[in-house]
C-alpha cells in the first residue's frame, strides 16, 4: 500500500522502522570514527536509547526544547542542552565544534514550511559540530557545504544521511 494512503498507525510503523534501519546503518558507518553522538530531538528518548545500545560507551549529547522522556532517558546535565535548537547548537560550539562522529536530527512535524525553515537554520549549525568523516542522519532534508548524500537503506519512509568532508 502506498504510504500516503496508509493509516496513521501504518505510517508510524513505516517511519519508525525506517528510522531504526537508518540509525543502525549510520552507527555502522561511524563505528571506527571517534567522537560523540548528537541527538537533536530527544523527545520521548526512543532513538536516544537505541543509539546508546548501538554505540555502547559513546558519549551522547541530547538537545530539546524541554524534557518529556522517561527518567531512564534523561542524560546527565553535562550531556543535555535545553532550549531552542538554534540557540543550543550554537552554545555547544565551544565544547563540540568539529568533534561529533554522528548527529541524528529528528525534528519533523506535519508543517512542511516550519520544518523547511528549521532545517535551513540547523544545517550549518550541525555542520560546525561535525568531525571530518562524521555522518548526519535526519528525518528532514537539510544541506551544508561539507555534506554529501549517503544512500539510505531501503525503507517506506523518507530519511536522509550525509557524510561530512574535511575542511571548513
Ligand atoms: C519527533 S520528536 C523527537 C523524537 C525522539 N527522537 C524520539 O525518538 O523519541 C522532535 C523533538 O524535537 C523537539 N523540537 C522541535 N523543534 C525544536 C526546536 N526548534 N528547538 C528545540 N527542540 C525542538 C520537540 O520538543 C520534540 O521533542
Q: Are 1 and 10 a contacting pair, CB within 8 Å?
A: yes
Residue 87 to residue 158: CA distance in whole angstroms: 27
- Atom 15 of ligand 1, residue of closest alpha carbon: 107
Predicted local distance difference test score (pLDDT) of residue 1: 63
Distance 107 CA to ligand 1 centre (A): 5
38 beta partners:
61, 103
Average pLDDT for runs of 10 along the chain of length 168: 83 95 98 98 98 98 97 97 98 98 97 97 98 98 96 90 89
Residue 79 to residue 115: CA distance in whole angstroms: 25
Distance 36 CA to ligand 1 centre (A): 19
User: What residue ranges line ligand 1, CB within 6 angstroms?
Assistant: 41, 43-47, 64-65, 84-85, 106-107, 118
The grid coordinates of residue 84 equal 531552542
pTM for this one? 0.96
- Atom 4 of ligand 1, residue of closest alpha carbon: 43
Q: Are 49 and 20 a contacting pair, CB within 8 Å?
A: no
Residue 113 to residue 134: CA distance in whole angstroms: 28
123 beta partners:
none
Amino acid at each position: 500500500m502506498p504510504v500516503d494512503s496508509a493509516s496513521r498507525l501504518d505510517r508510524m510503523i513505516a517511519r519508525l522502522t525506517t528510522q531504526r534501519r537508518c540509525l543502525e546503518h549510520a552507527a555502522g558507518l561511524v563505528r571506527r570514527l571517534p567522537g560523540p553522538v548528537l541527538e537533536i530531538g530527544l523527545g520521548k528518548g526512543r532513538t536516544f536509547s537505541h543509539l546508546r545500545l548501538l554505540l555502547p560507551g559513546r558519549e551522547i549529547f541530547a538537545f530539546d526544547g524541554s524534557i518529556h522522556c522517561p527518567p531512564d532517558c534523561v542524560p546527565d546535565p553535562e550531556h543535555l542542552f535545553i532550549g531552542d535548537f538554534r540557540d543550543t547548537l550554537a552554545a555547544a560550539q565551544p565544547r563540540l565544534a568539529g568533534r561529533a562522529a554522528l548527529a541524528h536530527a529528528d525534528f519533523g512535524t506535519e508543517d512542511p514550511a516550519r520544518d523547511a525553515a528549521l532545517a535551513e537554520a540547523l544545517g550549518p549549525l550541525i555542520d560546525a559540530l561535525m568531525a571530518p568523516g562524521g555522518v548526519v542522519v535526519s528525518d528532514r532534508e537539510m544541506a551544508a557545504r561539507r555534506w554529501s548524500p549517503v544512500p539510505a537503506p531501503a525503507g517506506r519512509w523518507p530519511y536522509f544521511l550525509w557524510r561530512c568532508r574535511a575542511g571548513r
